[in-house]
Structures are given as structure tokens and as C-alpha cells.
């Protein structure tokens, strides 16, 4: 690791102030992704602001029947929360599909959203990567792109977002709450958090530099026409446990989000619209996939989703595919 200085923040306001005043500062909470990247010198912050003990780890009921999850709530605590398990099972299923027990105990809600891609070219500092070294090119375009994006990719970057949790939060239509460097609180839909790569894949979110995620807010659980929960998370990967996804799907009510197939959790709005008009799951995902693109080695993801999504929709509806 490159040398850095370290401080522990005692308030969210103090944390964003420190971030605004210190060049090349980064927040650290669980650290499971950031420290991995710092060891490889992919991340080289000059200063770490430890936000891990900020008093924003509670999971609280909201007045409208939803749930506010503090940004420092660990992945394990969120997955195990009785309200999450009973009312937002898709979120528990997604979280326990990711990482290992040890990692989930350390990883936080805010950090999970901001984890970085597992693209091999991002990790290998001897290879070109526009995300790690802007302007150096994309090694994955013509290289080992088996786990690359099939939606929303650009000629500059075909990396995917690795989070499982964020896919479920997208299907649940969650809202992200933040504190900006000037101390201003704001909130926005989770679909507005991450951006597509375009020409600047190094810029992964719409957050202002130094802006801190403070909470994720879930609206009341979705209800389908029959009053059921209609939630399910399904993930396909190379081994049964402790592996990043090749493709995943979260269904919550009528909403569908796809994981490991784009630079951000992919809200499948075209499939949702088709379903709402009475299409079958098979027909609905076909509409979404009509706009998918693929590279040399990741075309199989299209077939995976063609099979996976209708099964997940049927499971969420309580019927067989």
C-alpha cells in the first residue's frame, strides 16, 4: 500500500467536512473492497476518513411503512433483520448470495453500493483499463470478457457492477440519502446513483466528490394484484457459493432488476412494461434482451437471462415456470 494518513470521523458532518478539506481523501467503513484495491495500488488515497463507527447503522421503521437502513449497517445485520426477512425477502436473499460470512460481517450498506468492478483488466495494473487509468484503453473489449456487460456498455468500458444487494434494492425502488461536502442532505432514487460508462468509466456514480451515503430507504413492500409479496432473487455463477455472479435477477412486485450484466444494477423497464401489458415472463425478457449486445465470450449471458428471468418471475408469482 502507498502511505496514507488516517482519521476517525465522529459525525457525518465532520466526515464530509474533512473530505472536502483534504486532497485525495477517501471514506472507509468495512474496507473489504477498498483495502483489497489499496494493496494492489489500484486505489491510492492520501488520506482515509474512517466512517465505520458513525451512528448511522440503525435499521428503523419509516412513517409510511417502509424501512430506513443506515449506511453503516453491516450486510449481515441487514440480511438478518426480522423486518427485512419478512417484508423484503429479496433483499436478504441477495445479500446472503454475495461474499462470505466474514465479508458480510464487515461490509456496510453504503460501501456495498460503492464497491468497484471485478473486471480482470481493472485488477491487473499491467493491462490497459479506462476505469483505472483513463485513456489507457479497454483490455476487456477484445480480451477475457466472459463476465462483461451486455447492457449499456461503451467502447471505453464493458465492466459490470458486482453487487448483489444493489440489484435487490433497485427492484425494491429504494431511495439513497446522502450528505454533500457542503453539509447539504439530499435523497434520490437508487437508479440515479450509478452511471453508465460512456466516455468516462472512471466516474462510476452521480455522487459529488466527498459526498457520503448516509442511508438507504425502502418504500413499503410491493404488493402484487393478489396482495402477495412477489419477491425473489436468483443468481447464477461458476460455483455454488462465494463467487461473483455471471447473471442475477431480482423481482419485487412488478419490478425487475438484473445483476452482473451492466455497469450498474440494470432495471429491466422494458420487461416490466411488457409484463404489465400481459406478456409472459419469456416474452417480457425477450423484449429486454432485444437490446442486449455482447462481446466474444459473454454471449451466453443472454441465454442465461432468457432462462433465468422467467423462472424468477414465476417463482415470485408463486407459480411454476
Partner 1 sequence: MKTTITVNGEARALDLDPRTTLLDALRETLRLTGTKKGCDHGQCGACTVLVNGTRINSCLSLAVMHDGDAVTTIEGVGQVGALAPIQQAFLTEDAFQCGYCTPGQICSALGMLAEVAAGWPSQETADLTAPIRLTDDELRERMSGNICRCSAYPQIVAAIRSVAGEAA
Q: Out of 14, 52, 137, 181, which residue is the one contacting partner 1 (CB under 8 A)?
A: 52
Which grid cell sits at 119?
Answer: 473486471
Which region, judged by CB under 8 A, interacts with partner 1, from 80-88, 143-151, 266-274, 302-310?
80-88
Contacts of 178 (CB under 8 A, 6+ apart): 185, 186, 187, 188, 207, 211, 212, 213, 214
Q: Out of 103, 203, 287, 311, which residue is the one contacting partner 1 (CB under 8 A)?
A: 103
Can residue 92 be called a binding residue for partner 1 (CB under 8 A)? Answer: yes
Contacts of 269 (CB under 8 A, 6+ apart): none
Which grid cell sits at 214?
Answer: 448516509
- Using CA atoms, how far residue 217 sits from 84, 108, 267, in Å, is 12, 15, 18
Q: Answer whether 195's CB lies under 8 Å from 265's CB.
A: no
Q: Out of 93, 117, 178, 298, which residue is the one contacting partner 1 (CB under 8 A)?
A: 93
Q: Out of 21, 39, 187, 199, which residue is the one contacting partner 1 (CB under 8 A)?
A: 39
Can residue 5 be called a binding residue for partner 1 (CB under 8 A)? Answer: yes
Can residue 311 be called a binding residue for partner 1 (CB under 8 A)? Answer: no
Can residue 1 be called a binding residue for partner 1 (CB under 8 A)? Answer: yes
Q: Answer whether 130's CB lies under 8 Å from 137's CB.
A: yes
CA–CA dist 153, 247 (Å, integer): 15
Tell which positions 237-256 bind partner 1, by CB under 8 A.
240-242
Where along the sequence are the contacts to partner 1 (CB under 8 A)?
A: 1, 3-6, 8, 28, 31-32, 35-36, 39, 48, 50, 52, 76, 79-80, 82, 85-86, 89, 92-93, 96-97, 99-103, 105-106, 240-242
Amino acid at each position: 500500500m502507498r502511505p496514507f494518513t488516517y482519521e476517525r470521523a465522529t459525525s457525518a458532518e465532520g466526515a464530509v467536512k474533512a473530505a472536502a478539506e483534504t486532497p485525495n481523501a477517501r471514506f472507509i467503513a468495512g474496507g473489504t473492497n477498498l483495502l483489497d484495491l489499496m494493496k494492489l495500488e489500484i486505489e491510492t488515497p492520501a488520506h482515509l476518513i474512517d466512517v465505520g463507527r458513525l451512528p448511522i447503522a440503525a435499521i428503523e421503521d419509516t412513517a409510511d411503512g417502509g424501512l430506513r437502513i443506515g449506511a453503516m449497517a453491516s450486510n449481515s445485520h441487514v440480511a438478518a433483520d426480522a423486518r427485512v426477512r419478512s417484508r423484503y425477502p429479496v433483499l436478504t436473499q441477495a445479500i446472503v448470495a454475495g461474499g462470505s460470512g466474514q465479508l458480510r460481517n464487515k461490509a456496510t450498506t453504503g460501501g456495498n453500493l460503492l464497491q468497484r468492478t471485478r473486471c480482470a483488466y481493472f485488477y491487473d495494473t499491467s493491462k490497459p483499463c479506462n476505469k483505472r487509468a483513463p485513456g489507457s484503453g479497454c483490455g476487456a473489449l477484445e480480451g477475457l470478457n466472459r463476465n462483461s456487460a451486455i447492457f449499456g456498455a461503451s467502447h471505453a468500458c464493458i465492466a459490470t457492477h458486482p453487487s448483489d444487494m444493489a440489484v435487490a434494492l433497485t427492484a425494491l425502488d429504494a431511495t439513497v440519502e446522502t450528505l454533500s461536502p457542503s453539509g447539504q442532505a439530499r435523497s434520490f432514487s437508487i437508479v440515479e446513483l450509478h452511471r453508465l460508462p460512456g466516455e468516462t468509466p472512471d466516474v462510476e456514480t452521480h455522487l459529488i466528490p466527498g459526498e457520503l451515503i448516509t442511508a438507504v430507504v425502502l418504500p413499503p413492500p410491493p404488493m402484487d394484484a393478489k396482495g402477495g409479496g412477489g419477491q425473489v432473487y436468483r443468481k447464477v455463477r461458476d460455483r455454488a457459493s462465494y463467487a461473483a455472479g455471471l447473471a442475477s435477477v431480482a423481482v419485487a412486485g412488478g419490478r425487475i432488476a438484473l445483476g452482473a450484466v451492466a455497469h450498474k444494477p440494470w432495471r429491466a423497464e422494458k420487461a416490466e412494461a411488457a409484463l404489465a401489458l400481459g406478456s409472459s415472463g419469456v416474452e417480457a425478457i425477450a423484449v429486454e434482451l432485444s437490446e442486449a449486445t455482447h462481446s466474444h465470450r459473454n454471449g451466453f449471458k443472454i441465454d442465461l437471462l432468457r432462462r433465468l428471468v422467467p423462472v424468477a418471475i414465476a417463482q415470485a408469482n408463486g407459480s411454476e415456470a
